[in-house]
Amino acid sequence: MSSMDIWRIAHDDLPARAVDRLDADMRHVLGVRAAMGGRPIEACRTTEEARAQPTLDMALRRILRDTAGDLGVGMEMRLIAGPKGEMRVRIYHPPGVDAARPLIVYFHGGLFVLGDLEHFDATPRSLACRTGAVVVSAHYRQAPEHRFPAAHEDAHAAWIWALENAAALGADARRAALVGEDAGGNLAVNVALRARDEGRIGPVHLGLVGPMAAMLFDLPSHLEPGEPGALNTEALRWASRKLFRRKDDLRDARANVAGRIDLGGLAPTTVILAAADPLRSEGEALADALRRAGVWVDMTLYEGVTHGFFGLYQIVNKAMFAQAQLARNLSLALGT
């Protein structure tokens, strides 16, 4: 019996209709984005059109009238060498001058197709401020221009680059963590597994926010009704068709990390989930698989919010709590 089969048996009576219990602040952000126009991702005719749709980050900036502060965190943009050319990274430096800081490598979300460093600025900036770590936010090749496993190769390269250049960044490679949101959560787990298997330096902590952990579309949260304007299962199916060349790729262990039985030896892990998120069941299954493998897991399911809530901490209360949870666990692991 696979790890996923065990999880299905234990979670076949999960409550439905999380979208009926959305918090007012989450609904406000969704409403502002809806007023900005746009189409559902799965209805877009081209990838370029999908990438041009309004995001929750754009709605947040409209609400704040582009007055969101930089939190005293400095940011520089760089190009680094990747497996197939240069990769873009943003390096966030926390305020103050100290001895070598801890290091966090962050992979943004976007279902392996959408998303970029600009629209996922809030999380790495906040983590740098809250933990005192240097944060390297790395972009990666995206589908359909670059299909699976191009993003995984880039993520591994970004981790190795960050470790090898830690001293020049003012950071300590021995105190390094990995954080990722949705697709980035999948990348973070795979980078940690590869580091373990190759005997390389691995992260001292994993932070996974709404991770794409199984890519199976018959799990409970995939079958629940979605909130208009929020991520839904059809958008995930759309992204899957862009990412994988053939259906057999869905069975690759890198895609279905929640189904793996060899997760032992990974670092302590924080899992942050939104109740009204089609990826919720994938994250829950991954947390269960990690625990069965002997990994320490701190998982919290935040009611009243949707996928993508984590970076909205300036408006959405649950995002503020979730960021504090992750920052606390990172700080303990990193020694800050």
Looking at residue 96, its pLDDT comes to 80
Looking at residue 10, its pLDDT comes to 56
Residue 8: pLDDT band (50, 70, 90) is low
* Secondary-structure percent of the chain, ordered helix, strand, coil, rounded to 5: 40, 20, 40
CA 115 to each of CA 52, 143, 183, 308, 326: distance values in angstroms, whole numbers, following the listed order: 10, 11, 10, 11, 21
Burial class (CB in 10 A: 0-12, 13-18, 19+), 103: buried
Looking at residue 67, its pLDDT comes to 58
pLDDT digits (tens, 9 = 90+) for 235-272: 999 999 999 998 888 889 999 999 999 999 999 999 99
CATH number at residue 55: 3.40.50.1820
Split into its structural domains, the chain has a count of 1
- Reported in sequence order, the residue ranges of 108-187 that DSSP labels E, i.e. its strands, are 134-138, 171-181
Tokens read off for 40: 């559902």
What pTM was computed for the model?
0.93
For residue 133, the enclosing domain spans 3-334
pLDDT digits (tens, 9 = 90+) for 163-205: 999 999 999 999 999 999 999 999 999 999 999 999 999 999 9
